[in-house]
Amino acid sequence: MTDYLPKEVLEGLEAARKADLKKKSRLRVRVGDELFRVLRYWEDGFALDRHDAPHLRGFVDLYNGGQHLYQALIVASAEENGEMVYEFKRNTAAVDKAPLDFVRDENAPVALLGSPD
C-alpha cells in the first residue's frame, strides 16, 4: 500500500474538511459590513478559510449566530493548511448596556411613577 495520494484527491479531501467545519461552526467575524465564517476558535485566536478572508487587521466583532460575543483587536499571524490564523491582541466580552460606576442598592425602585397632572 502506498502513502501517496494524487493532488486532486488531497484537494478534494481538504475541501470536504473545510465544508464540514463551515457547516458545524456558527461563529462569525464581522469586519465592517462583511461577515466571515470561523473554522476554528481557541482562547488566543481563530482561523478563517484563506480563500474567503483577506489579511484582516484591527477591530472585529465575533458573533455566535446573532449573539454578539466579543469585540477584538486582531492581527494575522500565519497561514497554515489553507487557513488564515489570527491572534487576539485584545478580546473583550460584548455587553448590551454600559457598566455601572456605582453600587446599586438591592432595594432601590426599578422605576419612578410620575404624578398624574
Average pLDDT over residues 56-83: 89
Highest mean pLDDT: which of 2-16, 80-94, 102-116? 80-94
| Residue 40 lies inside a defined structural domain of this protein | yes
Answer whether residue 101 is part of any domain: no
Q: How many other CB atoms are there within 10 angstroms of residue 50's CB atom?
A: 17
Q: What is the pLDDT of residue 94?
A: 86
pLDDT-based confidence at residue 103 (cuts at 50, 70, 90)? confident
Give the domain range for residue 44.
27-93
Q: pTM score, two decimals?
A: 0.65
What is the total count of domains within the chain? 1
Q: Does residue 116 sit within a domain?
A: no
Task: Determine, yes or no, domain membership for 115.
Answer: no
78 in any annotated domain: yes
Residue 25 is predicted with a pLDDT of 66
Report yes or no on 80 lying in a domain.
Answer: yes
Burial 18-44 (b: 16+ CB within 10 A, else e): beebeeeeebbbebeeeebbbbeeeee
3-state helix, strand and coil shares in percent for the chain, rounded to the nearest 5: 15, 45, 40
- Give the model's pLDDT for residue 116: 76
Residue 54 included in any domain: yes
Residue 104 lies in a domain: no
Cell triple for 7:
493532488
